[in-house]
Amino acid sequence: MIVICEPICREFSHEKVNSGFIYGMRLAFPDETLRFYADKSHIKAIQDILRHDQIIVENIEYVPIKFKDSSSLSGALKYYLLFKKMFSELKEVNTDKIFFLSYSPLIIYIIKKLKQHTNFINLKFTFVLHGDFENIITEKINPVNLPVSIQPVEKFDITAFIKKVRKNKVSYYPKKIAGAGINLIRAGLKRIRINPSKWLSTKEMLLWRASPDFRYVALSPHIIKNAVKYIDTDKLNIHTVMFPTNFVKPTAQPKNEYIKFGIFGYGDTVMLRSIAQRLSQTNITQNYEIRIIGMDNRGTIGFPHITCPSPGVPLTRADMEKYAADIDVFLILYDESKYTVSCSGTIIESLSNSKPILHFNNDCINTFNTPDNPIGICCNTIDEYVNKMIDLIENYNAYAFDLKEYRNNIMKLRTEYAIKNSTSQLKDSFTW
């Protein structure tokens, strides 16, 4: 039996990559039963995305689990009891390995403590490295130097407060104060924060009690290349499995009256607003659209060329792909300070939706957009980025051939990065 666990994500979070790993494990271990532990809402999201992608995963057991926020004392205890029960169940099915699709420093700590128990000493673990791995980096840089708007602090109006107090009778306040105190105590007991980042660092937890029984999966080769500068990667037994994705059926190249840019998923609202401001200060003669295919449109209201079909409300996978269908270019807004030792799902969505990209010079994105097989355009500064957007807007028809070539190169990458081509690496990461 192959046991897989998602101990953090709920609903649609990471559903694309996690469904890719599940299908990849099926291909890597075709004769084994799969058992998948996850929150009930995430299990449904995985089943929905596999159905949407027309992927059939046979011989799989879905086991709902409940977990809490790992930054509370009750959450830490919940994880301890959850993993203890789960590890005991491993012995019942005669397996000694578990594949974790995500982790936190606290989760690593609890698992390594449990492994010291006699009953669990022979257990082996593989963890997928995601955004938390970025915390091994000590220095933080922001080469773009975007301005940060700071809201003024609201001053306390003593006159208004006194008027409000005088409106109520004296007998009103003892009960009010007592009730507020009780509610405060109750809330405090429920939400005692332990903030693991202050006493459990990612780097320390990964290296603590490091052994061959712990392996890790990086989603791109640039991760290990950069991580060497910050952590002893030899101790971590890191394997590379290119971001596993069930690619959707490619759509036809759009034929629009004017260029349409798309931002798929979370994006970067601060960067987008800065770009929008620069574009608005330019005398652009042609029409264009920047479509936010996600729910976060903060800071973009009032810019006439920016649209958001579903502000504040999550889109289904089918809707996201529907709104991406007529997009010419995906905008990837992460500068070189982002995704140094992690991989952005945005670039994978670009491949999956067959969309050329316009991006900043970034180690993660550069791994996919290479000089010998370009899938888009790379810019070094925000001014260069904006100027390239203006050129694409004003000369949309002239870029038709380039966009077609980028799309053809994307189809090559889709073939190269198909899950079936990563099964050997995936199997190596989970074979002792």
Give the pLDDT confidence score for residue 150 in this predicted structure: 31
Q: Give the range among 47-51, 62-66, 163-167, 210-214 with minimum mean pLDDT.
A: 163-167
Considering only residues 39 and 197, tell me which one the structure prediction assigns the higher pLDDT: 39
> What does the block give as tokens for 80?
């301890």
**Is the model's pLDDT at 29 over the cut of 80?**
yes
∠ at Cα 30 (26, 32), nearest 5°?
Answer: 90
- Please report which helix (H) or strand (E) contains residue 86, including its range: helix 73-92
For domain 2-137+200-245+419-428, which architecture applies? 3-Layer(aba) Sandwich (3.40)
Considering only residues 314 and 62, tell me which one the structure prediction assigns the higher pLDDT: 62
Considering only residues 4 and 253, tell me which one the structure prediction assigns the higher pLDDT: 4
Instruction: Please report where in the chains the tokens 């490091």 appear, as a residue.
Output: 210
Both ends of the chain: CA-CA distance in Å? 14
* Under 8 Å between Cβ of 135 and 202: yes
* Closest residue by Cα to residue 311 from 299, 326, 327, 325: 299
- For all residues of the chain together, what is the average pLDDT? 89
Alpha helices of 317-380 — where are they, by DSSP H? Answer: 317-324, 345-352, 363-368
**Is the model's pLDDT at 232 over the cut of 60?**
yes
**Is the model's pLDDT at 154 over the cut of 60?**
no
**Is the model's pLDDT at 156 over the cut of 50?**
no
Quick one: CA torsion of 66, 69, 71, 73, rounded to 10 degrees?
Answer: -50
Instruction: Read off the pLDDT of each residue in 244-249 and give the average, rounded to a whole number.
Output: 89
The sign of the torsion formed by the CA atoms of 271, 276, 282, 287 equals positive
Burial zone of 128 (CB within 10 Å; 0-12 exposed, 13-18 middle, 19+ buried) = buried
DSSP string, 349-405: HHHHTT--EEEES-HHHHHHSBTTB--EEEESSHHHHHHHHHHHHHTTGGGHHHHHH
Tell me the pLDDT band of 250, cut-offs 50, 70 and 90. Answer: confident
Counting residues of the chain whose pLDDT is more than 90, the rounded percentage is 76
Say which amino acid occupies 69. D
Instruction: Read off the pLDDT of each residue in 332-346 and give the average, rounded to a whole number.
Output: 95
- 122 DSSP assignment: T
Give the pLDDT confidence score for residue 431 in this predicted structure: 92
Q: Distance of alpha carbon 428 from its chain centroid, rounded? A: 24
> What does the block give as tokens for 91?
């012995």
Distances 298 to 120, 189, 261, 302 between C-alpha atoms, Å: 47, 34, 18, 11
Q: Give the range among 11-20, 169-178, 240-249 with minimum mean pLDDT.
A: 169-178
- The SS3 assignment for 168 reads coil
Give the pLDDT confidence score for residue 235 in this predicted structure: 93
Tell me the pLDDT band of 87, cut-offs 50, 70 and 90. Answer: very high
Give the pLDDT confidence score for residue 252 in this predicted structure: 85
How many angstroms separate the CA atoms of 403 and 255, rounded? 11
Strands 97-100 and 329-332: unpaired
For 296: left if phi > 0, alpha if psi spans -120 to 50, otherwise beta; the answer is beta
CATH number 3.40.50.2000 is the correct assignment for the domain at 259-416: yes
Instruction: Please report where in the chains the tokens 């130097």 appear, as a residue.
Output: 145
* Closest residue by Cα to residue 80 from 49, 113, 48: 113
Instruction: Read off the pLDDT of each residue in 259-277 and give the average, rounded to a whole number.
Output: 94
pLDDT, tens only, 384-393: 999 999 999 9
**Is the model's pLDDT at 276 over the cut of 90?**
yes
How many angstroms separate the CA atoms of 81 and 234, rounded? 31
The arrangement of strands across the sheet holding 214-218 comes to 60-64, 34-38, 2-5, 97-100, 124-128, 214-218, 238-240
**Is the model's pLDDT at 191 over the cut of 60?**
no
Residue intervals in the chain for CATH 3.40.50.2000 = 2-137+200-245+419-428, 259-416
Give the pLDDT confidence score for residue 155 in this predicted structure: 45
**Is the model's pLDDT at 125 over the cut of 50?**
yes
DSSP string, 270-308: HHHHHHHHHHHTS---S-EEEEEESS--TT-TT-TTEE-
pLDDT, tens only, 363-410: 999 999 999 999 999 999 999 999 999 999 999 999 999 999 999 999
* Closest residue by Cα to residue 13 from 265, 308, 341: 265
Give the pLDDT confidence score for residue 199 in this predicted structure: 72
- % helix, strand, coil for the chain, step of 5: 45, 15, 40
Say which amino acid occupies 131. G
> What does the block give as tokens for 66?
């409940």
Say which amino acid occupies 323. Y
